[in-house]
Amino acid sequence: MKPVTILAIESSCDETSASVCVDGKILSNFIANQTVHEKYGGVVPELASRAHMQNIVPVVDAALSTAGYKLTDIDAVAFTQAPGLIGSLLVGSQFAKSLSLALGKPLIAVHHMQAHVLANLIDESNRPEFPFLCLTVSGGHTQIVLANSPLDLKVIGETIDDAAGEAFDKSAKLLGLPYPGGPLIDKYAKEGDPLKFKFAEPQIADLDFSFSGLKTSVLYFLQAETKKDEHFIANNLNDLCASIQYTIIHILLKKVNKAVQNTGIKQVCIAGGVSANSGLRKSLQEMGNKKGWKVYIPKFEYCTDNGAMIAITAYHKYLHQQFTSLDISPSARAEW
């Protein structure tokens, strides 16, 4: 049987990425990051769209050349269809549609969050068996997903307001840290006392999450302490970062533990940008060791937005002939 070769494009936010996948094996995964947003303290949608337009051709070219393939060698073109910034999604989707039409190859639309979950299938030497649970944490989403098969994924718990990644970034902003602040909290937390300061942990039913109350708790605490000592944040930065990170991780893992108890499934994965957080990775592994779970943690390059996760998802959709038409439109928000 002829190998299945897929070119995948990811452009949901501020990373332009392309990947070549052959029979489920990732041969290349190129990512162009956008630094233009740093001085604005967050992603500016219009600037993101423009940067995608500048980056997409060289990124796709690099992915193909590294893999040793030409455009005429591919069997399908995949792209992120939803969710994400609509302008960013439009750049990737229109490029993918153009390639599909010009080459006469099938087009595969991929849901960004499903792809994060299936990033755990990329590493052949450390791949979970189905069914497994996946904690998916990013700047815009926090979910617990029950994966019965590559194309049978069910959200069994999610945030009712803000995402864990947003809680990291907004807390970092309150601490005066530059964007993106989440990785800086992780960095400073390594030198701090995670039990030094206490912050609110919302009591949400079942497997759902909430992080708006935590952000408010951090805000009020910092306002009160800086009134008493204007140098409070600078003098306690490491401990503040450690305590905030500890609280977020504790909220996440408490729900994961409950999901394991409810389902009886002891294979647990993480995915999404926040899964690159060293504190979360360490804490999940420690909890897994303590409770007898099999824990799977993707490599860092597959945690943040990347083309490889789109490619591996598209490969499984290709096997089931789940193609889409050129009429499909990108969506900023889309249900599974």
> pLDDT digits over 273-330, tens only?
999 999 999 999 999 999 999 999 999 999 999 999 999 999 999 999 999 999 999 9
Distance from chain centroid for Cα 228: 38
Cα–Cα distance for residue pair 310/16, rounded to 1 Å: 12
| Mean of pLDDT over the chain | 95
In this prediction the pTM is 0.94
Q: Do residues 281 and 252 share a domain?
A: yes
268 in the same domain as 309: no
Q: To which H or E segment does residue 25 belong? A: strand 25-33
Residues 110 and 251 in one domain: no
Residues facing residue 154 across a β-bridge: 146
Q: Does the pLDDT of residue 267 top 90, yes or no?
A: yes
Number of domains within the chain: 2
Instruction: With respect to residue 326, please indicate whether it lies within any of the assigned structural domains.
Output: no
Q: How many residues does the chain have?
A: 336
Residues 227 and 263 in one domain: yes
* Residue 152, domain member (yes or no): yes
106: domain range?
Answer: 5-118+303-319
Say whether both 315 and 286 belong to one domain: no
Q: Are residues 113 and 191 in the same domain?
A: no
Q: What is the pLDDT of residues 27-51, one digit of tens each?
A: 999 999 766 666 666 778 888 899 9
The answer to whether residue 331 is domain-embedded is: no
Q: Are residues 199 and 107 in the same domain?
A: no
* Residue 40 structure tokens: 């604005």
Indicate which CATH number applies to the domain containing 39: 3.30.420.40
Whether residue 328 lies inside any domain: the answer is no
- Same domain? For 199 and 314 the reply is no
58's tokens: 């060289």
Residues 37 and 168 in one domain: no
Q: Are residues 152 and 268 in the same domain?
A: yes
Whether 327 maps to a domain, the answer reads no
Quick one: DSSP state of residue 180? Answer: S
| Domain co-membership, 54 together with 189 | no
pLDDT above 90 coverage of the chain, percent: 88
State how far the alpha carbon of 243 is from the alpha carbons of 199, 217, 222, 291, in Å: 8, 12, 13, 24
Q: Which of 113, 114, 108 is nearest to 96 (CA)?
A: 108
Instruction: List helix spans (H) across the chain.
Output: 45-67, 86-103, 112-118, 164-174, 182-189, 212-228, 232-235, 237-263, 278-291, 307-319
Residue 55 shares a structural domain with residue 145: no
Inter-CA distances, 251 with 71, 121, 156, 220, Å: 46, 26, 16, 19
What is residue 36's predicted lDDT score, i.e. its pLDDT?
60
273, part of any domain: yes
138 domain residue, yes or no: yes
Q: Say if CB 26 and CB 308 are below 8 A apart.
A: yes
Write down the pLDDT at residue 1. Answer: 75
Amino acid at 296: Y
In a domain, 101, yes or no: yes
Task: Report d(CA 135, CA 152) in Å as an integer.
Answer: 16
